[in-house]
Amino acid sequence: MMNLTRPSHSILLILFFMLAINSTSALTKYNVLNIGAKPNGKTDSTKAFLMAWKAACASADSTIIYVPKGRYLLGSMAFQCGCKSPQIIFRIDGTLVAPQDYRVLGKSTDWLSFEGVNGVSILGEQTLSFTNSKNIRIRSLLSLNSQMFHIVINGCENVNVQGVRIIAAGNSPNTDGIHVQSSKNVNIIKCSIKTGDDCISIGPGTKNLWIEQITCGPGHGISIGSLAKDLKEEGVQNVTVRNTIFLGTQNGLRIKSWARPSTGFVQGVRFMDSLMRNVQNPIVIDQNYCPHNLNCPNQVSGIKIKDIIYEGIRGTSSTEVAIKFDCSPKNPCTGIRLQNVNLSYLNKSAQSSCSNVRGKALNLVRPESCL
């Protein structure tokens, strides 16, 4: 849910990374300690980190910005484009700490942001945000109690996120784990996400997204949307979600849009091999999305949803309706396929609900299909 309202309480954000790097000896290294950073967790080291980035950016060689063990207090920082260096690696063996007073960060959209960069690797770092960037690698990351979204990928290309752990309280608002929008060729693999909002949220303009081996819970599940925020909106296409586990989440595999006109669409989505454990809404398409029933548009969703496959979805629902397709009466969902789905409720049969949807069920499908 792309809502930038900040929580009213202070949250400490700690990011810890550790990953062995091969052949880094050939890189030009910039140690933040040598540039004035203090690893005591109390002295503001923002200036030193920005100076390290400036030096690495200006180098004609591949570079590494090294953060040794320790705790580094950092304010909002934007690492921007225009670098000579063909590759910049952040090697972070320490802990980056945001100010405890959330109002310090309230003046900025993000805590740590990369804008228009190419060829950056974060090894071992929102709130981390990438905008209009290419060739990004994020690995072995722990993000704890972000005040907002933990990782944002916006307008990017060729992004690989692997081995990330995200932790926030189950009742923390707007703490989406990973948000992707207006981006293509993004892989999110082998991640554990525990948060108070969507584990992974997928916004307009996302194309060629691969999500695999994700454990989600608590949280709101993996969601495409919410869509139809604007009349003119890009579509979401070619998304694969496979080998996922949902533990006590509000939703499992969800597509959501507001009930208002829009030029947007969702097509070519594959949800495969998912295990549900006590999930409120394991499979759901909601084209009348309106959280808390406040300021609902009460129109008809213009989002066109087609060619969506659910295959190998199994486990338990914590509500009686395990499959719910609530589609637009003006633009019914088409090409919806259920195959080898086995969901139960309290060790008995669950139910499915269909509205304005066309599709088919193949092989074993429980609850009984309403398609």
Q: Rounded to whole angstroms, how far apart are CA atoms 2 and 174?
A: 7
CB burial of 45-71 (b: ≥16 within 10 Å; e: otherwise) equals beebbbebbeebbebeebbbbbbeebb
Token duo for residue 190: 């082998």
The answer to whether 182 and 205 are in contact (CB under 8 A) is yes
The phi, psi pair for 34, rounded to 5°, reads -75, -10
Residues 179, 151: contact at Cβ < 8 Å?
yes
294: CB partners within 8 A, 6+ apart? none
Quickly list H helices, the chain.
Answer: 46-58, 102-105
DSSP letters, 135-164, are EEEEEEEEEES-SS-SEEEES-EEEEEEEE
Beta strands 251-257; 28-31: pairing state: unpaired
Which element (helix H / strand E) includes 366? Answer: strand 357-366
Q: Of 128, 157, 156, 158, which Cα lies nearest the Cα of 142?
A: 128
List beta partners, residue 103. none
Catalytic residues: 197, 220
**Ranges of H-type helices in 135-260:** none
Report d(CA 65, CA 51) in Å as an integer: 10
Residue closest to 275 by CA, chosen among 305, 241, 308, 303? 241
- Residues 62, 48: Cα–Cα separation, whole Å: 20
Q: Which amino acid is at 338?
A: L
| Among candidate residues 217, 341, 337, 336, the one with its CA nearest the CA of residue 273 | 341
